[in-house]
Amino acid sequence: MPSQPTLPMFSAGRHLLSVSQFDRDGLELLFDMADVVAPIAERRSVCTVLDGAVLGSLFFEPSTRTRLSFESAFLRLGGEVTTTTGFTFSSMAKGESIQDTSRVVSGYSDVLVVRHPDEGSVAEFAAASTVPVLNAGDGAGEHPSQALLDSYTLTRELDARGRSLDGATIAVVGDLKYGRTVHSLIKLLSVNDGITFRLFSPPSLGLPDSVAEHAHQHGNTIVECRSVLEAVAEADVVYATRVQRERMTEELHSQVRGNLLNRELLEQAGVAQDIIIMHPLPRDSRHDAYDLSSDVDGLPGLAIFKQTDNGLKVRMAMFLIALGCSADSVRATLKQRPWRADIDWELG
Ligand code: NCD
């Protein structure tokens, strides 16, 4: 992974390109703001704090939850969203440069969210933009918003069990080479103390040295394991990730088949009833896909849909900070909603 220039801490009017823009105080601010907007994300209240603001949402790589959660977050804060997906429907298909596209769309928007298949490309976008750019994933590089919502979920899930993220043991399994969510998460957790990462990946899909080095330099421990069983056996949390088929050759992909993690394995390791189970999603549910099996879905520690729900709150908080809104300005525009949005609708 190319070394990144030192970026300023994330705050009002700044781009969000990398998890390196957060220290412990910055994270606390973001997480507190995510708690403030929780009633809006959970559809108990509505709010108009971003009335009149426009988001430019540019996704040049496939996405379901990242795009929809960024866009829903902006809409639920009272803003408006404009969007373009894929290269085919954008002027990049006519040969327009990142710089020109960025300058143009930043003239239409108050903040941009950008996903692009090339590492470093979102930073190029940001350099030409006149408004804050939030990185929604740049190739195999970083995915800061995912790492932030993962860290929020980890903190809250461990808190609920009377434990702390400091000193926790986290098994990280799957495609650790191309899985950008794992790169960003391991780097972000450098702000915590005494974390042990127990890694397992197929031999060709190991964690880049630069990420492992980053963890070491910040006092966290990396343990390479020979099997998933060994990785999860002593862990508080398991974070599994999909094989990034689109970033590798067919030949390499054909070597990674079978089962990564399922209920039987967690039972064998003696952790099925306790371990917190995380995954950035999507899970590859095709036969032989080498991913997290859906047979873990009934286990008490399953947190994968808590991650997606928390993503909305954390992304709302990112917009509020980038656009200089205080928690009080959110509270001042909170309203009761006249429509019903019960989580427990009796559908049928
Ligand atoms: C991830 C991504 O796009 O990097 N998905 C996501 O944003 N939640 C993980 C993946 O595609 O495997």
| CB contact set of 168 (below 8 Å; sequence gap of 6+) | 154, 158, 192, 195, 196, 236, 237
Helix (H) or strand (E) holding 29: helix 24-36
The partner residues of 174 in beta bridges, in order of sequence, read: 241
Judge if 153 and 292 occupy the same domain. yes
**What are the tens digits of pLDDT across the range 102-113?**
999 999 999 999
pTM of the model: 0.94
What is the count of structural domains for the chain? 2
Residue nearest to atom 12 of ligand 1 (CA): 242
Residues 296 and 271 in one domain: yes
Distance 282 CA to ligand 1 centre (A): 6
Q: Is 311 in the pocket of ligand 1 (CB under 6 A)?
A: no
Q: 241, 175 in Cβ contact below 8 A? A: yes
Q: Are residues 327 and 296 in the same domain?
A: no
- The reply to whether 348 falls in a domain is no
H or E, element range at 276: strand 276-278
Answer whether 197's CB lies under 8 Å from 159's CB.
no
Residue with tokens 């006149």: 130
283 lines ligand 1 (CB under 6 A): no
**Spacing, Cα 252 to ligand 1 middle (Å):** 20
Reference 77, options 46, 55, 105; nearest CA is 46
Closest ligand 1 atom, residue 241 Cα: 12
Tens digit of pLDDT at every position of the chain (348 positions): 445 568 999 999 999 999 999 999 999 999 999 999 999 999 889 999 999 999 999 999 888 899 999 999 999 999 999 998 877 666 776 788 999 999 999 999 999 999 999 999 999 999 999 999 999 999 888 999 999 999 999 999 999 999 999 999 999 999 999 988 999 999 999 999 999 999 999 988 999 999 999 999 999 999 999 999 999 998 999 999 999 887 778 787 778 788 889 999 999 999 999 999 999 999 998 888 899 999 999 999 999 999 999 999 999 999 999 999 999 999 999 988 877 776 667 776
Residue 47 lies in a domain: yes
126 falls within a domain: yes
- 103 contacts: CB under 8 Å, gap ≥ 6: 128, 129, 130
What does the pLDDT look like over 221-240, one tens digit per residue?
999 999 999 999 989 999 99
Query: Alpha-carbon distance 198 to 251, whole Å?
Result: 27
Residues 162 and 280 in one domain: yes
Residues 123 and 238 in one domain: no
- Check if 67 has its Cβ closer than 6 Å to any atom of ligand 1: no
Domain, as residue range, for 272: 145-305
186 with 279, same domain: the answer is: yes
